Amino acid sequence: MEMEGIVLKQPTGAVQQSNALAFLANLDFIKIRQKVDLAELFTPWEVKNRYEVCDRNDQVFMYVTEESDTCERLCFLPVQRGLVLHVTDVNGQEIAQIKKNFKCCAGGSCCASADCCAMEMWVDQPVGRTLAHVRQMVYCCSPKFHVFDGNGTQVFEVTGPCCICQGPGCYGDIEYPLTNPGGSDANARVTKIWDGAGRACCTHANTFGCHFPANMDVQQKLSVFGSTFVLDYLLYENNGDQ
């Protein structure tokens, strides 16, 4: 795989601290904002995705930078390509990784029971230790995903609506609520945020929000955070912003 440098520059208003996880531990909402790339905007070139992670006041405290192979980006869909998402603080220190293996058959909801077809990602924190595993499940109309902890025990189920489209005639946020394995409300959800018609029509850049109780364990917050990228690469990257 190619290795792209991690973003080191701190924007104005960034959180001035090295321990991004301590900052996350006190939050009840984070926004994950994909950066617009001009090369992808004006050409068919598929670039490595980059994201900013900020609080509800738009203070940036983490970055996410994709590492992936050029051939896989150009020849396969985002849901198929293998990648590593490097999660860093504002000083460039890596605090977590989100990994996805290459699967040429990935993405089909009807055959997700097969390991070779299911879209799945692993969250490592610290790097080298699996914190969470997010896997696409078999579904007909409404997207469904299971979130497992590092021991393989299911901790959440993520479900979405039948219609996941956003565009000039279909605007508004799209909610993906989380439930506990028994079906009770986990008081957490992922939101695909409506960014306006211009961004929806002209770019592939998506924005998500993660809502959770402020006192939720920070490792569970990272699990919710990791599930966001499964939604992005499976549902929203393959056709741009739908």
Domain with 33, as residue range(s), is: 19-236
Which pLDDT score is estimated for 171? 78
pLDDT, tens digit (0-9, with 9 covering 90-100), for 184-202:
999 999 999 988 766 666 6
Q: Tell me whether residue 8 is in a domain.
A: no
Work out the mean pLDDT of the chain and round it to a whole number: 87
Bond into 126 cis (ω within 30): yes
pLDDT exceeds 50 at position 14: no
Per DSSP, the three-state class of 165 is coil
* pLDDT confidence band for 169 (50 / 70 / 90): low
Cα–Cα distance measured from residue 139 to residue 75, given in angstroms and rounded to the nearest whole number: 27
Cα–Cα distance measured from residue 98 to residue 127, given in angstroms and rounded to the nearest whole number: 9
Q: Tell me whether residue 210 is in a domain.
A: yes
Which pLDDT score is estimated for 200? 64
Which pLDDT score is estimated for 36? 86
Kindly state the average pLDDT of the residues 134-152: 94
The residue that leads in pLDDT, 106 or 171, is 106
- Residue 53's Cβ-side half-sphere holds a number of Cα atoms within 13 Å equal to 25
Q: Compute the C-alpha angle 199/123/127, nearest 5°.
A: 115
Q: Tell me whether residue 177 is in a domain.
A: yes
Q: Tell me whether residue 106 is in a domain.
A: yes
How far is residue 1 CA from its own chain's centroid?
Answer: 20
The DSSP 8-state label assigned to residue 147 in this structure reads E
Per DSSP, the three-state class of 232 is helix
- Range of lowest pLDDT (104-108, 159-163, 225-229): 104-108
Cα–Cα distance measured from residue 26 to residue 142, given in angstroms and rounded to the nearest whole number: 32
Q: Tell me whether residue 7 is in a domain.
A: no
Strands 94-100 and 130-136: what pairing? unpaired
Q: What is the CATH number of the domain that holds 53?
A: 3.20.90
Q: Considering its fold, how many domains does the chain have in total?
A: 1
Cα–Cα distance measured from residue 70 to residue 91, given in angstroms and rounded to the nearest whole number: 27
Q: Tell me whether residue 73 is in a domain.
A: yes
Q: Tell me whether residue 10 is in a domain.
A: no
pLDDT, tens digit (0-9, with 9 covering 90-100), for 15-62:
444 489 999 999 999 999 999 887 666 777 789 999 999 999 999 999
Q: Tell me whether residue 116 is in a domain.
A: yes
